[in-house]
Amino acid sequence: MIKLEIDISKASTFIDPSEWQSIEEEVIRQHKTLLTGTGKGNDFLGWLRLPSTFPGDLIKRIREDAERIKKVSKIYLVIGIGGSYLGARAVIEALSHNFPSLYSENESPQVLFAGNNLGEDYHSDLLGILDEYAYSVAVISKSGTTTEPAIAFRLVKEHLKKKYSSTDFTERIIAITDASKGVLKELADKEGYQTYIIPDDIGGRYSVLTPVGLLPIAIAGFDIEHLLKGAREMQEHLFSAVSPGSNPAITYAAIRNALYRKGKRIEILVNYQPNLFYFTEWWKQLFGESEGKDNKGIYPSGANFTTDLHSLGQFIQEGTRDIFETVLSVEHPRKELRIPSKEQDEDGLNYLSGKRISEVNDKAELGTRLAHIEGGVPNIRISVPEINEETLGQLIYFFEFACALSGYTLGVNPFDQPGVEAYKKKMFTLLGKPGQ
């Protein structure tokens, strides 16, 4: 059963009903294009049926590796950039304690990330931390040639070699990469690291439900079978529901494109839970790389409320009117905490005594929606009852599917990213890379 709901009543008022009907019909046609594999980039549709076809022996292998790694590691280092780390980070942070490094009951290794930036201080600090703790590494790169993770891996490999014996060294590295191409694959074969394959027909930003995301998530102690189960439930629903209003991915793709055609060029994904920060980062990459091309696209942006209501809130309320918001709303927190009552009401908060923090958060969410709508910002609400592996699996698959439909409706290939090469070419020339 799908647990996700979408409410567009506060956005559809910005669209003419006849326009809405025609765009919804257009997205329903794109739904057929996607399922029949007849659209642009159709050699990158491996993610589409992945939840329902995921091999049982691969789940078993990931779980066994995770158990082995947990026994010998306090830290699990994931080296990768873009789609090669954002999905794992999004799920792990959404499910983890908010202060994982200080939380004494953590039984699983702490997952750290590298290779997603070129900060010298970041990498120096990281190597210092790796001196102190037992650790293992996943180096993840589909192409096997991306500069940022390659530099981080070179540094970490040297460190591992010094810290561990030669057998222990190779056993602590897993490479997740292409089946046959790329420097990383060659290195793994030469040096004997265990490998997992990223299927040819799954692009980086659609790869969280492959070993790219599943191995780190399992090592962090979370249930990958439930994650896949959630994705499978969402797949079944999104494949079969085609009548207007029955398919949340069609609705989301249609309302985004309708608002875009009305001049709303920026979408802000808003969350009210700090540990969804990286979910938003994952979503930004998914939509940004999929849609921003051919001089078209909705700019995907993120905000963390109520924090950012005290920074971006002013702009959203009264700045340029080319924004719409999508609120990712979680109905029930995992824990319960009430506001205490005080005999002397010195801080004037007794009107909230006994209320849960989440009740205040919910009112902040509703109040903000109403204020922003009044300010001319259409508002879409996507809600789930709570955050757990199953609902995250549903959300991930929902956004992947909706992104593909939305990209097709926009008229772009949602599965390529030619623009990512431009900065690399300039950087390589400046660095004097041979052959540039």
Catalytic residues: 289, 310, 424
CA–CA separation, 212 vs 351, rounded Å? 48
Minimum distance, C-beta of residue 289 to ligand PA5, in the bound complex (Å): 5
- Identity of the residue, 139 or 254, whose beta carbon is nearer to ligand PA5 in the bound complex: 139
Angle (CA) 9 362 383, round 5°: 50
Minimum distance, C-beta of residue 197 to ligand PA5, in the bound complex (Å): 13
Tokens of 351: 């009107």
- Identity of the residue, 96 or 285, whose beta carbon is nearer to ligand PA5 in the bound complex: 285
Long-range pairs, 64-70, Cβ under 8 A, ≥24: 65/174, 65/194, 65/215, 65/218, 66/215, 66/218, 66/219, 69/109, 69/136, 69/219, 70/107, 70/108, 70/109, 70/219, 70/221
CA–CA separation, 288 vs 302, rounded Å? 12
Are 31 and 242 within 8 A, CB to CB? yes
Minimum distance, C-beta of residue 48 to ligand PA5, in the bound complex (Å): 16
Minimum distance, C-beta of residue 248 to ligand PA5, in the bound complex (Å): 23
Are 201 and 416 within 8 A, CB to CB? no
- Identity of the residue, 106 or 143, whose beta carbon is nearer to ligand PA5 in the bound complex: 143
331 three-class SS: coil
Are 31 and 250 within 8 A, CB to CB? yes
- Identity of the residue, 205 or 369, whose beta carbon is nearer to ligand PA5 in the bound complex: 205
Half-sphere exposure of 296 (CA within 13 A, CB side): 15
Nearest in space to 400 (alpha carbons), one of 387, 419, 415, 390? 415
- Identity of the residue, 2 or 176, whose beta carbon is nearer to ligand PA5 in the bound complex: 176
- Identity of the residue, 15 or 202, whose beta carbon is nearer to ligand PA5 in the bound complex: 202
Minimum distance, C-beta of residue 415 to ligand PA5, in the bound complex (Å): 9
Give Cα separations from 246 to 4, 238, 259 (angstroms): 12, 9, 20
- Identity of the residue, 151 or 352, whose beta carbon is nearer to ligand PA5 in the bound complex: 151
Q: Which residues contact 429 (CB under 8 A, 6 or more apart)?
A: 436
φ, ψ for residue 76 (rounded to 5)?
-115, 120
Identity of the amino acid at 9: S
- Identity of the residue, 211 or 378, whose beta carbon is nearer to ligand PA5 in the bound complex: 211
Provide the binding-site residues for ligand PA5, judged by CB under 6 A: 81-84, 141-143, 146, 149, 203-205, 289, 417, 420
Nearest in space to 175 (alpha carbons), one of 186, 166, 167? 186
Minimum distance, C-beta of residue 429 to ligand PA5, in the bound complex (Å): 19
In the complex, which residue's CB is closest to ligand PA5?
204
Are 390 and 229 within 8 A, CB to CB? yes
Element (H, E) at 299: strand 299-304
Minimum distance, C-beta of residue 139 to ligand PA5, in the bound complex (Å): 10
User: How far is C-alpha 79 from the geometric centre of its chain's CA atoms?
Assistant: 16
Minimum distance, C-beta of residue 300 to ligand PA5, in the bound complex (Å): 13
Are 143 and 182 within 8 A, CB to CB? yes
